[in-house]
Structure 1
């Protein structure tokens, strides 16, 4: 049996650790849903204007979950680093593979992991500032709303790309 490399250990630990934190954040999200923000934190991410951010935060404050929202956004900052690094390590791992398709997919994952990290930090820092000051800002809301679909798309590329890469690697090992 092949011994796991340091890169593979990093991939599994950080990628799965990031997914675990993501699961916790998803489990918390129903606490932030209400008529003003039916999608919870996602509404805050894509608000796009100070007026919308203020309305969402006021609804959270009225529901008594504003401090929990701040904690959730801070947890998101931790998640971003862990997940992005894990996805990056996974992409590098597969970029070193023997098969050309797996190598190309690995490099796509590497690029998407970098985009996830940068776009998600831009979005979440913009969100965090507004949550901590309890004041919407048109520029920060616009920045967060612009980064949100970029981050989401890159996340899906890394997530499904890594699942496909794992499948391809398993098939290659079975046929060898």
Structure 2
């Protein structure tokens, strides 16, 4: 059995911690579900205009979960950095191997991880400013709603890309 490199250790530590933080956010989201937000935080991300954001904030305030929503957004900021760094490290790990398909996949994961971080930070910072300071804001709600589908696709590319990369790497090492 080969000894793990520093790059592999960094990948596993950050990527798995990122997944754990995502799981914590999913659990927290249960309390953010109201009649106004049947999907919880996802409804806030997709709001798209100031009036809808204000409506969501009012529903969360009436349910006593506005502070939890802000904490969830703050936790999301931490998640983004940790997960994106872990996914990028995994992409770098794959890109460094001599297997052409795995190397290409690694480069795709690296680019997707950077794009994910940029778009998810744009979305979450826009949300947090509205939730903690300004209330609904047309530009910020539009930024969040526009970034949401892009960051979702990039997250899926990184997540499933890493899983596929791990499977290829495992298959390759068994074949050798």
Please classify the TM superposition score into its range, dividing by the shorter chain length: over 0.9
Q: Is the 8 A contact 1:57 1:134 kept in 2?
A: no
What is the CA–CA distance in structure 2 between the aligned matches of 1:131 and 1:5, rounded to whole Å?
42
1:28 match: 28
- 2:175 alignment partner in structure 1: 175
Corresponding residue of 2:153? 153
Give the CA deviation at 1:70: 0.5
Equivalenced residue count is: 176
Q: Tell me the SS of whatever aligns to 2:97.
A: coil
* Structure 2 equivalent of residue 51 of structure 1: 51
- 2:102 maps to 102
Mind listing any 5+ residue stretches in structure 2 that lack a counterpart? none
TM-fit CA distance, 1:134 = 5.5
Give unpaired runs (5+ residues) of structure 1: none
Q: Distance in 2 between the 1:11 and 1:51 partners?
A: 41
Report how far residue 19 of structure 1 moved: 0.2
In structure 2, C-alpha distance between the alignment counterparts of 1:97 and 1:42, rounded to whole Å: 38
Once the two structures are TM-superposed, the CA of residue 97 in structure 1 deviates from its matched residue by 1.2
Q: CA RMSD in A?
A: 0.7
**In 2, Cα distance between the equivalents of 1:115 and 1:4?**
28
Q: Give every structure 1 segment of 4 or more consecutive aligned residues whose post-TM-superposition deviation is greater than 6 Å.
A: none
* 1:3 shift after superposition: 1.5
TM-score (norm 2): 0.99
Does 2:60 align with 1:60? yes
Give the whole-Å Cα distance in 2 for the aligned partners of 1:57 and 1:140. 14
1: CA distance, partners of 2:45 / 2:6:
35
